[in-house]
Structure 1
Amino acid sequence: MNMGFALPARLAAGAAMLCTVAAMAQAPAAVPQFKDYPADAPHTGANHSLVLDSDFARAYRTRLREAVASGKPEFAGRYIVVRWGCGTGGCNTGAVIDAVTGHATPMPGALTSVYPLKPEFEKEDGQELIYKLSSRLLVQAGDIEGVNGDGKDVVEFHEFSRGKFNLIKRLPYGREGKSRP
């Protein structure tokens, strides 16, 4: 058996593997896309009345009931989105309400000022919450309460699954807009 070529071949394979790993480490992280988190078919029936099954639902029942009465699903196929201010003038929070079951889930955090992800939001309140009826992905951008506390903006990507928001990715955010979905 000729071993003369075995060592150079193994060295070459090892070097190729190291180069691949190094390239992967330097590649920019993929930004989650709405299309990768499809929702079920949109709910078109009547909204279920609000179910007061949690401290959250009981505390915000007026806002939540108003949303159920006048809203329609606009997120993840069957969820009504409702937002309200925190009382300080500089932040907002909210919930999603399942139009089929009436169960309310709080947003993953309160948002405070952020640079707009999209130019058409420049005149808005400086907080971002982006979602689609056809997707379970929710994108929020801002100084998210309970995350940083340092005044630095982040973009968070959450998948809504089994009645809760699951953080997929958190990225730093600035005017460059490199974290757009």
Structure 2
Amino acid sequence: MKEIVFAFLIALLLAVVSPLTHAEEDEYYNAHTIRASDYPKNPPGFEQFPAIGRFNGRVMAPDVRSHPRSRLFRTMIGIGAKQAPNFAGHYTIVRWGCGSGCVSLAIVDANTGKVFHPASLHEVDNENVDYDELIKPDGALIKYRLDSRLLIVVGGINENSALRGISYFEWRNNTLRRIRFVHRPFE
């Protein structure tokens, strides 16, 4: 009896987490879906925006008093900031869920502990983004590298349809500046 129950639970789990079939994809995705084909032909590359500054080897505790928004998410920022830098030489991008298919973030300077919440990028959602893009090794909603100041975002930003698409940001002087944008509105 235990084997039957176990087999049933496994089958149920696989049914719940299995990717969409092609027929289901056709029903779910539409003309407004963000797909791989929406990437520009000559996008900005990570190599074009090398990191400035280096990590000094000691991760500083995040100063959650350095930005009012930090106090709201101090636990997640504290946990994430303990990791080694992962962006622009000495910064750590800390992410946490803000709902189904939504990610909030902060950028923490590992050398100083200062926390940044760029107004241009509080949240990212993956609503109507091609599932195949999300499961590739580099198919995250937010793409970045330790050796680069380039940040690539796929999806909706800050719940604003005018900001939905593929965004390329440059991190300079503790500010994110959009340098390229492929708009993919819902309508």
Report TM bin, short chain.
0.5 to 0.7
TM-score by length of 1: 0.67
CA distance in 2, matches of 1:76, 1:41: 8
Instruction: Answer whether contact 1:40 1:76 (CA < 8 A) is retained.
Output: yes
TM-score by length of 2: 0.65
Matching residue's letter, 2:97: G
Cα RMSD after superposing both structures: 2.7
Paired positions, count: 140
Label 1:110 to 1:47 Cα distance change in 2 as closer, same or farther (>3 A).
same
Q: Deviations over 1:156-177 (max 9, x none)?
A: 000001111111111146xxxx
Q: Deviations over 1:7-35 (max 9, x none)?
A: xxxxxxxxxxxxxxxxxxxxx77411111
Q: State percent identity of aligned pairs.
A: 27
Instruction: Give the match for residue 102 of structure 2.
Output: 91
Instruction: Give the match for residue 50 of structure 1.
Output: 62
Larger relative contact order (Cα-Cα within 8 Å, sequence gap ≥ 6): 2
CA distance in 1, matches of 2:113, 2:123: 22
Label 1:62 to 1:31 Cα distance change in 2 as closer, same or farther (>3 A).
same
Instruction: Give the match for residue 48 of structure 2.
Output: 36
CA distance in 1, matches of 2:53, 2:66: 26
The CA deviation at 1:153 is: 4.7
Q: Deviations over 1:67-107 (max 9, x none)?
A: 223x0101000011211111x31211111110011111125
Instruction: Answer whether contact 1:138 1:158 (CA < 8 A) is retained.
Output: yes
Instruction: Give the match for residue 166 of structure 1.
Output: 177
